[in-house]
Structure 1
């Protein structure tokens, strides 16, 4: 008996530790966040903004002076956007200065019904199987909420967990993913639907403030519905697995907070102000975000190489000051990342991130082509970029995809996805992917309005044939 007691005394703690380990592994197994499928929205062709029609929209804004006309047209010429992008119906019908609540809601419902219907049909899930719904539309707060409108239309369950996010800006889709990720940590066998877009109908600026009319050049209609799960049984059907996600928020800094903000101009017209401090704020947020996520996504050998190179540069600093020059060491993100999914905030944003991360034109191509074809669709932009990679059959099992986005606040959010299976399915790019990238990325606005850049503003006038 004494021997048995001694045996139990020594083995019971080991069994208990083994039990805790198995329990931990079981919990981790059910906490994984997978993307089952996603669907980007492509509006109908009657909502496309042609070059000529863009000129008409600018022309009918009676608040613009000649300087503003020239400034705005020059901005469009250098925007990197084609004439295949989409606008809300009230703008196409000339009612951008007097939008109604019906304009806003119909714009959203057209996107909701098209994308969610296709997503549920393709995944063979019924609305009653959705346990969590996260809706992110930054600049439209309706009552009942937009999430409630989706629940009512699809007759979802009474116990569904619902999150309706507003004011989160262009980086909000990763905030929505993070909300789902946190739910997955405490709930097993969950299916979540994330819906992300932006409402442009009530937010078209009709004044003449230069910092606010720029938004009209970049933002276009779009949206994406994303189906996520932590069900182990659905693992083999998944497209992507979330490896890590980092959020950076510089809202406590006044300069960052005010660089990208919805406000009124001197005449009381509401618009979206893009300040001169925006590039600086974006750079700071990006650096802080990368400092946190880099150790999580790059191999140890690259981190050690960078640390050693930085140490050597510091040691040689004195000799460099006397005549030599030691280049600043750069982290090679490609040692841990196969594809870069960048926010299409504008041509300058894409160029800036590419330069900071030392990316090639091949790496930047998905973001550039998305900006060209769909414009800046706010928080849904990342998923059009991802769709481009998939349509081009770039995504292979085991590949790592790095996503990074920026948004008002000021925020920088990033994450890493692992491709679970080979991908190359048809998606929103299906009808045009063969023509991208074009041999000559001609800008139709440049062809039509390029002459304006050399025009004397004192004699400037838009000829009738261009309107």
Structure 2
């Protein structure tokens, strides 16, 4: 991380302390000094004379006007949205698949030639996934036998498991849920997944239900924004259930295009259920910001992730070689907006100084990279693959500990798409690292191309990190020292 030369590592903490607390260190003392000097010049008798000269209407205005403005501000601003609790699915043990068994299935696949087998073997070994991830039993056959009923069975398994755990953790009745938002990009049956949840839990007939499809791995943050908007328009204290998942049927590709074979080495089963409300009585987190970035106007970004047919007419999910660079460009646009919202004044000033020196004065110093660790204590970066996590870590100058939750989630559960951010938050809490007041930055990437992020502030850490959590049986095994050795 490059800093202006006159601000070395010893002076920077002092600079941050003074600038970020300008009112305490500078503005307040100067104001007090000016007021005291003016009072000394006037003297006690002159001050009392002026106070007696004030009319009652002036005194009332001085008291009433600030109170009225404050009341108007509080009434006009949008209601805060709170996270009551969340739960992540840990699929059944019969769905577990190791890297070794995945490689064996690839070797016996009737669709791949020797080149395709070698490619998939390398990708699986380098994927960052471990031997405890999950795929639906239909993928355990050679060749896989994915069909509509298998896709529906997978969706019901992971969604019902997550929602059941959430209801058990919160103790609420399904009949008290006012809003339901589900998201899944690749598998969208009729009736929709939202209807499946309504039917299973017998939710109210007047519930506001929405299903979001085709938005890729960042759909979870999009669903979060939809929930926030619906809650802010609903009566105070309304409750919303959000469910994020992805159907692994999208990775069942029977062709030879390597860009369409790659998803099999990354995507795995998973789902998350989240309960939100505008009531903070039992809330655990407060939603601070949602920032969405869409780069679909650029053809390169628009086409880097897509469902399409190959030259032989076989359908599958396609991942372009440009994916990492496109994600980096979308991330830059997203953090530019997010930085303005969350960074302390000291980081903004350092960036402005380096920008002026570089662009205006034509100095050869490096552009200062803001330290987002001054704004956030925890980072949940979409576990889309080792290359994606590496790119974000380098772009934001994060430490290995900052991206630990993302790497360990990728190893333990694989890329569970939009739900991966919640597995990462569960990891942080399972490690008992969350503290009251701590801020979490969730960053998701998805087709289009999108970079969407959300900021949470912890109000009450989880007191029970072992029951009904996806990490209950494995948190003691993490973090791993060298994931590449573990899977290689």
Separation of aligned partners in 2, 1:179 and 1:338: 26
Residues 171 and 407, structure 1, Cα contact 8 Å, conserved in 2: yes
Give the corresponding residue for 1:278. 323
Give the corresponding residue for 2:480. 438
Separation of aligned partners in 1, 2:198 and 2:148: 19
> Offset at 1:131?
0.5
Residues 173 and 196, structure 1, Cα contact 8 Å, conserved in 2: yes
Separation of aligned partners in 2, 1:334 and 1:32: 24
Residues 297 and 416, structure 1, Cα contact 8 Å, conserved in 2: no
> How many residues of Structure 1 are paired with residues of Structure 2 in the alignment?
430
Give the corresponding residue for 1:54. 102
* 1:45-124 matches, cutoff 5 A: 45-94=93-142, 96=144, 98-124=145-171
SS in structure 1 of the partner of residue 97 of structure 2: coil
Give the corresponding residue for 1:461. none
* 1:250-269 matches, cutoff 5 A: 250-269=295-314
Separation of aligned partners in 1, 2:100 and 2:371: 44
Q: Which moved more, 1:49-58 or 1:146-155?
A: 49-58
Give the corresponding residue for 1:304. 349
Residues 179 and 240, structure 2, Cα contact 8 Å, conserved in 1: yes
* 1:166-315 matches, cutoff 5 A: 166-187=213-234, 188-201=236-249, 203-232=251-280, 234=281, 237-315=282-360
SS in structure 2 of the partner of residue 185 of structure 1: helix
> Offset at 1:348?
0.5
> Offset at 1:441?
3.4
Q: Which moved more, 1:260-269 or 1:44-53?
A: 44-53
Residues 39 and 119, structure 1, Cα contact 8 Å, conserved in 2: yes
Unpaired runs of 5+ residues, structure 1, are 1-5, 447-467
Separation of aligned partners in 2, 1:329 and 1:23: 40
Give the corresponding residue for 1:25. 74
Distance verdict in 2 for CA 1:31–1:94, change over 3 Å: farther
* 1:370-385 matches, cutoff 5 A: 370-385=409-424
Separation of aligned partners in 1, 2:371 and 2:135: 39
Give the corresponding residue for 2:378. 339
Greater Rg, structure 1 or structure 2? Answer: 2
Residues 109 and 142, structure 2, Cα contact 8 Å, conserved in 1: no
Residues 251 and 264, structure 2, Cα contact 8 Å, conserved in 1: no
SS in structure 1 of the partner of residue 401 of structure 2: helix
Q: Which moved more, 1:194-203 or 1:154-163?
A: 194-203
TM-score normalized with structure 2 length: 0.84
Separation of aligned partners in 1, 2:369 and 2:331: 15
TM-score normalized with structure 1 length: 0.87
> Offset at 1:444?
5.3
Mapped pair 1:411 → 2:456: no
Distance verdict in 2 for CA 1:203–1:122, change over 3 Å: same
Separation of aligned partners in 1, 2:162 and 2:86: 9
SS in structure 1 of the partner of residue 86 of structure 2: strand
Separation of aligned partners in 2, 1:299 and 1:16: 30
Give the corresponding residue for 2:387. 348
> Offset at 1:186?
2.1
Residues 218 and 346, structure 1, Cα contact 8 Å, conserved in 2: yes
SS in structure 1 of the partner of residue 321 of structure 2: coil
Unpaired runs of 5+ residues, structure 2, are 1-54
What per-residue deviation string (whole Å, max 9, x for no partner) do you get for residues 53-91 of structure 1?
A: 112220232221111111111111111111110001211
What per-residue deviation string (whole Å, max 9, x for no partner) do you get for residues 294-353 of structure 1?
A: 111111221112111222233552xx5xxxx42231111111111111110100000000
> Offset at 1:209?
0.6
Mapped pair 1:150 → 2:197: yes
What per-residue deviation string (whole Å, max 9, x for no partner) do you get for residues 220-241 of structure 1?
A: 0111000111114x2xx21111
> Offset at 1:124?
1.1
Residues 83 and 444, structure 1, Cα contact 8 Å, conserved in 2: no
Residues 408 and 480, structure 2, Cα contact 8 Å, conserved in 1: no
> Offset at 1:276?
2.1
> Offset at 1:440?
4.5
> Offset at 1:185?
2.3
> Offset at 1:360?
0.5
